[in-house]
Structure 1
């Protein structure tokens, strides 16, 4: 990004961030990053990863698969008590079992995952419906929309907010970041890739503590880095 400072607002900043991250992680692939390709498994994973690591969520997903519960009808027919035991590795199992049951019921009411992916309902309407479900917050809803339903959606998660704050000095809310990205990028595939790339960048360089600024592809233009030296 050298040659155009990112220290401050820029109407094409997220697009340039995306281009830089694509060059930084040329081998990045969404399916490999997720580790699962089945849409309903991604829905379940989006719930299970709340307040825990993906490693723990994946263990719970494996247990759901072994129990034959990674299918909406089977999951919706399970008791909350047994489901909580199956997903124990993900933690917060009572809350997450309730969220999974509600999500499975919603999917069935909509006619199944395939019909949802072809639904004439707009992304905003599907998001509204998801947010009405118990245990489904903004980040979970946006992750489901983007990675399970192939909708033009993205979360304004902690990685995105941290990157923006360090580059510009501005502290933005989840919704402000989400809307800023959607104002620049509109294709579902670009949004999926950008989110995954931001997470990879956050893990490789822009760590919450002890960031690796000198090796970061944004080092030349990062306000936080230059303020620290």
Structure 2
């Protein structure tokens, strides 16, 4: 009887120990759920930021297209008024100033876009690392849960929930990556437009010098210099396109 009582006591102790382990595991799972919710909230904030950024980029792109069309119209009008050299020179100088200002705006927008892109990539890298750490912790929890004889059903339910959260985060991360690639394409397009605007400015300056030139050496040298700068811009444009 004493031996049986001792066995019962030992079984009770083992049961209490297992219950404590289950409670600790539940607390750890609850902590994991909290961390997963926080990460999901961060992902939502990042998605909202990217959405706002894409809206701004769309507005900027539309403005650039409108400005590009306007510049083309101005340049065409300047060629049509070539008969009156004095008026054409004044108009062309004004157009050169407009183009120069527009190029500065495009370059500034491009620099800001590149900066924002770099920040987004850093944020995504951090999110990826946090996601991998969460996966690693979940794997450890799975191994511990398998060794526990009591409370298996409840633990499996929580593990399934965590797995679902991880799958959702994977989907969101892939979506962010796709949006990043699309944004990079828009950045390349902006860079191409900036180079084309700079080439247009060079053409306008060359046209101005040719219209007002008396074949002076200084004007000839300036035209040669502008042509060389234009060739460099063409090379940059080929690099961007390729």
TM-score category, normalised to shorter length? under 0.3
Please identify which structure carries the higher helix content: 2
- Structure scoring higher RCO (CA < 8 A, sep ≥ 6) equals 2
TM-score, normalised on structure 2?
0.22
TM-score, normalised on structure 1?
0.23
